[in-house]
Structures are given as structure tokens and as C-alpha cells.
Structure 1
């Protein structure tokens, strides 16, 4: 594994302090974009592999992880995330990068390519959608219909909602429900999920619903035919958050995109199929010339 390079905060013009870390060396760089309510747990196994050959930027969205909020708390959502990433790449010294996205991070990656195509060398889109995620959650519209009520409740009673969610998500029952209903218990280590539940339990629910609202309205469908960089789509056949047909459709509409469908995978496939994904990503990088060329060693001085 590469040595630790740097962690820092970048305060953007509207006052939001954004946490980021950079590990490793090597071009092109890699950027890791999380899902909603996440602060990097899903990259646990893939990140160390990428650090061996690339400078890897991992960052937290506004109000996620260690990142703070702007002066005007309403400034949360997709467009801000893309502009934030543009500034963070400058701060990290990355001119271009292969952008990875998980879950909502797939939308961030696609929107970032639409806005800043010159900065994207490739895309790896993991267990996510091109947009309007409430329309397809669990392959139904229940959450979409309930969301206005959820948002009203959270915005009207933020402190009681925060106490309730913290209490519910801190119980062993929350993880048991997730393992039984959403994820593949046989492929997962419980310890890999603890950081997710810990982060979500302590997250401001107002930030969560405002971020979700932006992702629910965002749609990069029309941009897919304009994606002009190597793209790998990774999906779990049993993903209920973003059903597998979305990934198939996305891969079919991005020119030249490759698709890896994991037969027993769910929404956290990078934790369930760590070796398979690591090998496939390594092959994808190699096939598209995204693996850094080893630098020639310095010639030895001639002996007299």
C-alpha cells in the first residue's frame, strides 16, 4: 500500500469547509464519489488497490463525513457537488482523473463529466443510476410518493427527527434488517457496515433530505450518449436500491461501456465481491491505458 500523502479542508467561496484526503502517487489520478449519507465505507477494499498506482482523492460532500455546511444551508445538491469536486481536484493537484461513483455518486460522476469533461479520463459507475432515483427505488414509486411528507416532517421537526433516527440506527436491529432485506448476509462482514450506520446515525437529517431531493430531481439520461471516455458499469443483480436493469440500460446507452453484473451482489457489491471487482477494475485500467507506465530506474554509475 502507498504511503499516506495528505488530508486537509478546503473552504469554498460560499463558506463550506470540505474535507478531503489524498493518498498515493501516479497519473491519471482517481476520484472516489460516495453515495448519499456515506463517507467512504464502500471503498474499504478497492481504495488500497488503487493507491498502489494512482493518486487517489477521497472527499466528503457538504454535510457528510467531516465536511461542513455553507453559510446558506440551502446550498446543497448536485450542482454544488460538481463545482466542489472541480475545486478539490485543483487543491489535490489532479488535472484529470478516473472518476468512480457509488450509488448517488454515479449521478455525481456523470454530471461532473457533463460539466467538466476535460477533467475526466474514465468513469467507473458502481451500483447507481443516471438519475431520478426515487422513481426506481425498490422498483416502485412508494418512496417518491412518501418523500414530500418525509421532507416536510424533517424540515419542520429537525431535532426530534435527528434524535429518533440516531436512536433507531444505533440499534443492532437496524443492521439486522439491512442484512435480511437489502444486502447479501452470506457475502458481507458485519464490521464492514458499522461505519455506514455510525455515520448515518449522526448525520443531520435536513442535509440528508435536501441532498436526496437534489438527486431525485437530477437526470443525466440525455448525457449518456455524449460520454466519450472509457466507462465501466458495475452492478449487483439483487440490488434493490438501484435495480440491475438500470445499470444494463446505462451501459447500453454509453458508447463502448463495459458491464460487470455480479450475480448475488446487492447495493454494496464492492464489499461483497471485493476480489472480483479489484481484478475487473485492474483489467479495465490496463485495457484503456489508464495504468501508469513504470518510470525507468536511474542508470547506475559506471565503475572505474
Structure 2
């Protein structure tokens, strides 16, 4: 049986922690998982099952997430990078595999950009690389509901803003996922002192996806109906990473990790053990992105928002 340990760390005076599910004989470097702003260290059971069969699984409550301390009202990128680097150091390993989903993609990317020698492989899913004016207006309405004390209304709006509700597009377990996301957001808003700030970080402290990357094997994947940033936009982002792969997972949206959890976990396990991806379940492959110059930005990419 894998051994589970939970460690508490601090960075810039902020308390946070991580969980490590440690195998006796792993086949690859530990897989460090960074989720969305409200996803904590105990929210990845599918990774324990699939990825835990081949590697140590490391999940975290970074500052501003889960049970960690809240982030101060300043740009958070440096704090989050330092917190992640501290985890890698504390693991006592030379390299890790980094998996970032949604908000966690920018943290993982920036860590790889600044410390490429510490990252064996990089997996980024549901990358919010493009957010337009209509989406910003939607999140301002969420913020207005929060300020008015309407937590149920804010949770409903937030859930709808993160999911594809178009009935002409097939999303696996859409209604179940929508109810689960709304309920989870409402629970977080009622019980977490910094959940509201985390939800609205897209307005006040947006992540940065500029700068490109070279020298780190990278996989980028998206749900085929992601409405936060479309698969085409995420493919543009993938093209800024030298030699990256880009794939879509069918019948899913931005919440692909909830709607197709086993397919996502299987894909991650294959990539970190250098197994073929073409036969992974649920995939609809797109053409390989063009090779990017180091630091190049694909035409039309809006790396900041």
C-alpha cells in the first residue's frame, strides 16, 4: 500500500501544505498536481488510482487554496511559484512531473519557465489563455452577487461561466457535473474565508501565459467544448511551447477533469511514463502544433488578460 504523508510549509509568512502518496517502486518522477483556485489537496482520487500506480502523487493546498492561508491583495504569481518550488525542494528529488489544470496551469508553466531543470515533464489542461470582455463581464456579475451577500446566486453564475451549457454540444454527465460544481462552489463560499477572492482572481490578479518554453516535454489538452478558452485558442498557446503535443478529450468542457476523470488520469499516466498517447481513451487528436521559437508567441495569442 502507498504511504500517505501531509507536510505543512510556509512561504512569505503564509502557511500551506501538500500531500504525498508515495509508492515503493515508482516508474517515474513524482507527479505534482495543481488544480483550480478552489481545488485542494484531497480532490484528486482519480489521480491516486491511475497515476498512483506508476508514480508518487503530490497534491497541494497552495496559499489561497483549500485550507491554506489566504493570499494578500497583491500580485500572487511570485508567491505561488515560490510555494511550488518549496514543495519540490521538500520532496528531496531532482525533478518532478508537473500537472496543472485551469488556474494551476499558469503556476506550473511559470515554475517550468524559471526552473526547467527541475521539471521532467509538463502537463497543462484547460488552459485559460484567452478571456474576452464578455467573460470578464460575467465574472463582474459574480463579484456583484458576492458583494451583495447572494452566495447561492454567485455560485450558480460561477458554475455556469465555467461550463458549456449549449444543448447542441454533447458533454458527458453535464447535468450531474453542473450540480456538483455549483454545490462545491457554494460550500466553498460558505466555509472558506478566501473562496470569494479566489473566484474573482481572474479580474484582479490574472495569470500570465506569455514567454514560451523550451527544453521540457509538454502536453497540453482541452475538453472539446471548453468555453473558458476554446480548444483552438489553447492550441495557439501550446504552439508557444517548443515540441509540445496538443490533444482534445471528447464530450467534455472546461470541467473535463470532472466529466472524464479516468480519461484525464489515464492520459497523464501515459505521458509521464513515455507511453503512446494515440490509443488513450476519449481522445480526438488535433494536428501537432508548429514548432515554436524559444520565447516566441503564436499569432493571435493574448497571453495576458
Larger Rg, first or second structure (1 or 2): 1
For residues 237-270 of structure 1, the C-alpha deviation after alignment (integer angstroms, 9 at most, x for no partner) is: 1111122112211223322211221232101112
- Which residues in structure 2 correspond to 1:27-46 (within 5 Å)? 27-39=28-40, 43-46=44-47
Q: 2:148 and 2:271 mapped to 1: Cα distance?
A: 42
Aligned residues: 267
Query: Per-residue deviation at 1:197?
Result: 4.4
Which 5+ residue runs of structure 2 have no aligned equivalent? 277-305
> Normalised by the size of structure 1, how large is the TM-score?
0.73
1:198 to 170, 177, 187: 187
Q: 2:209 and 2:158 mapped to 1: Cα distance?
A: 32
Partner of 2:95: 96
Q: 1:150 and 1:273 mapped to 2: Cα distance?
A: 27
2:247 to 246, 260, 274: 260
Query: Per-residue deviation at 1:78?
Result: 1.5
Conserved 8 A contact 1:41-1:195: no
- SS of 1:181's equivalent? coil
Structure with the higher helix share, 1 or 2: 1
Query: Per-residue deviation at 1:212?
Result: 2.9
- Which residues in structure 2 correspond to 1:74-93 (within 5 Å)? 74-75=73-74, 77-93=76-92
Q: 2:125 and 2:153 mapped to 1: Cα distance?
A: 28
Which 5+ residue runs of structure 1 have no aligned equivalent? 155-159, 290-304
> Normalised by the size of structure 2, how large is the TM-score?
0.73
- SS of 1:267's equivalent? coil
Conserved 8 A contact 1:16-1:68: yes
- Which residues in structure 2 correspond to 1:130-209 (within 5 Å)? 131=129, 136-137=130-131, 140-144=132-136, 161=147, 163-165=149-151, 167-168=152-153, 181=165, 184=171, 186=173, 189-190=176-177, 193=181, 194-203=183-192, 204=194, 207-208=197-198
Q: 1:22 and 1:196 mapped to 2: Cα distance?
A: 25
- Which residues in structure 2 correspond to 1:1-304 (within 5 Å)? 2-12=1-11, 14-25=12-23, 26=26, 27-39=28-40, 43-69=44-70, 73-75=72-74, 77-129=76-128, 131=129, 136-137=130-131, 140-144=132-136, 161=147, 163-165=149-151, 167-168=152-153, 181=165, 184=171, 186=173, 189-190=176-177, 193=181, 194-203=183-192, 204=194, 207-208=197-198, 211-213=201-203, 215-216=205-206, 218-221=207-210, 223-224=211-212, 226-287=213-274
Q: 1:210 and 1:175 mapped to 2: Cα distance?
A: 13
Q: 2:141 and 2:187 mapped to 1: Cα distance?
A: 25
Q: 1:232 and 1:201 mapped to 2: Cα distance?
A: 36
Query: Per-residue deviation at 1:79?
Result: 1.5
